[in-house]
Amino acid sequence: MSTQNKKSVIYFIADLHLTQNRPDITDTFLSFLKYDAPQAEKLYILGDLFESWIGDDDGSPFVINIAKALFALKQTGTEIFYIHGNRDFLLGKKYAKKSGMVLLAEVELIDLYGQSTVIMHGDTLCTRDIAYQKFRTKSRSWWWQTLVKSLPLFYRRKIAADYRKRSAEATALKSQDIMDVTGSEVVKCLEKYQSQLLIHGHTHRPFVHNLTANGNDAQRIVLGDWYEQGAWLKVTAESIELLNSTFIQKD
């Protein structure tokens, strides 16, 4: 499908948490890339595409197949943009190039059919989760990332598995309020970028929230995760819709 034939539509997705242990999610995502995403001018992936990312030197068939599917989408004329999440922040330029993705900063201001729009993963908005924010600060430092990337691949896989286990245990003990965004941080973000629309993922609570920022009506759109169904945001010049699809079932 050429760029000229594409509909005037932009898609946003986040929080797929792709892993070999969930082939249902992977199959649904691959179907989305093949049948739905080619309709779009642009696809924005707002973090946590993978459950974990241990480095661009991971040459497993699983991550290679995902890269090939993304690159095939790019070849249809759809531009693909990527913002790091809290699970795959080590994803680098090498894998992005293989996938045909353009890496963006952790917060970007884009023009969405004339609407100035802030896009991000969303984890920085959850300021009440103090323990996570401390880890985030450390893990985004150059020295921490350099140290981790220098470790053998097999050891990084072990570290990632241990972290996922500890993270799940810690999440089970945290209140829903702590893991959600802080309202004042949302307003602060919108006012910093002089925008009335924010799109993010991370919290796994798809919804369109109305609020006030910059002295005017504003909206915060939360993308859905892919644990139980495919989920994406469809934006055209006339409408904004949170969509979903059932998982691909195999015999």
Q: Which residue has the higher pLDDT, 167 or 75?
A: 75
Res 176 pLDDT > 80: no
Residue 97 inside a domain? The answer is yes
Residue 171 lies in a domain: yes
Average pLDDT score over the chain: 92
Domain count, the chain: 1
Hey, CA dihedral for 209, 211, 214, 215, is it positive or negative? positive
- Establish if 250 belongs to a structural domain: no
Measured between alpha carbons, how far is 175 from 166 in angstroms, rounded to an integer?
A: 16
- Cα 6 to the chain's mean position, in Å? 23
Q: Note whether residue 251 is domain-resident.
A: no
Q: Among the listed ranges 50-64, 87-101, 148-162, 178-192, which one has the minimum average pLDDT value?
A: 148-162
Where residue 125 sits, what CATH number does that domain have?
Answer: 3.60.21.10
Distance of alpha carbon 148 from alpha carbon 162, whole angstroms = 14
Q: Which domain holds residue 137?
A: 3-245
Tell me the residue length of the chain. Answer: 251
